[in-house]
Chains A and B, each alone.
Chain A
Amino acid sequence: MKLPVELKQIIAFTKRDFYSWTTYRTAVITQLINVFIGVFSWGVSATYVQKPVQEMYNSDYVSFLVVGIAISNLIMPLAQGIERQLNPWTLETVLMTGIKTPVFVIGNIMWTYIFSVFTFIPYLLIGTYFFGAKLNANIPCVIVAFIISAAILVGLSMISTGLRVVTKATDPITWMINVLQNLLSGVSFPVVYLNTIFFPGFSTISWFLPQTWVYHLCRLAMLTDPSLLNLSTVLEFLKGSAFAIILLPLGYRVLRWGIVRSKREGTLGWY
Chain B
Amino acid sequence: MNYAIETINLVKRYPTKARRGVRPGPGVHAGRRIDSFGGLFGTIVTRHGAFIEALRGVNLKIKEGEVFGLLGPNGAGKTTLIKILCTLVIHDEGQAYVHGFDVKKQPTEVLKNLQAILPESRGFDWRLTGRQNLEFYALLYSVPDKEAKERIDYLLDFTGLKERADDGYQRYSTGMQRKLLLCRALLRNTPTLLFDEPTAGLDPAAAAEFRSLLRDRLARGEGKTILLSTHNLDEAQDICDRVAILNRGKILACDTPSNIQRLMFDKRTLRVTFIGAVSGEPQEKMLKELKGIAGVNDATPDIGRDNSFQGVSIQGDKDTDLSAILAVIVNKGLKIGGVNTEEPTLEDVFMHLTRRQTE
Contacts and interface: CB of A to CB of B under 8 A. Distances in A.
B79 to A, nearest CB: 9
A97 B89 contact: no
A32 interface: no
A253 B140 contact: no
A191 interface: no
B90 A260 contact: yes
A95 B111 CA distance: 10
Interface in A90-104: 90, 92-99
Contact of B123 (A94, A98, A253, A268): A94
Given A94-B140, A266-B14, A261 B38 contact: yes
A261 B89 CA distance: 9
A265 B14 contact: yes
B120 A265 contact: no
B50 interface: no
Most buried by B among A90, A96, A253, A260: A96
Interface string A242-271: 000000000001001100110111101100
Interface stretch (B80-88, B316-324, B348-356): B80-88
A93 B123 contact: yes
Contacts of B90: 260, 263-264
Contacts of A90: 123
Interface stretch (B29-37, B249-257, B268-276, B336-344): B29-37
A263 B36 CA distance: 12
A24 interface: no
B295 interface: no
B127 interface: no
Contact of A263 (B15, B89, B112, B115): B89
A247 to B, nearest CB: 15
A244 B86 CA distance: 34
Pairs of residues from A and B, 8 with the lowest C-beta to C-beta distance, nearest first? A93-B123, A97-B140, A257-B38, A98-B111, A92-B121, A263-B90, A90-B123, A264-B90
17 contacts: A93-B122, A94-B140, A95-B88, A96-B88, A96-B115, A97-B111, A97-B140, A257-B37, A257-B40, A260-B38, A261-B36, A263-B88, A263-B90, A265-B15, A266-B12, A266-B80, A268-B88
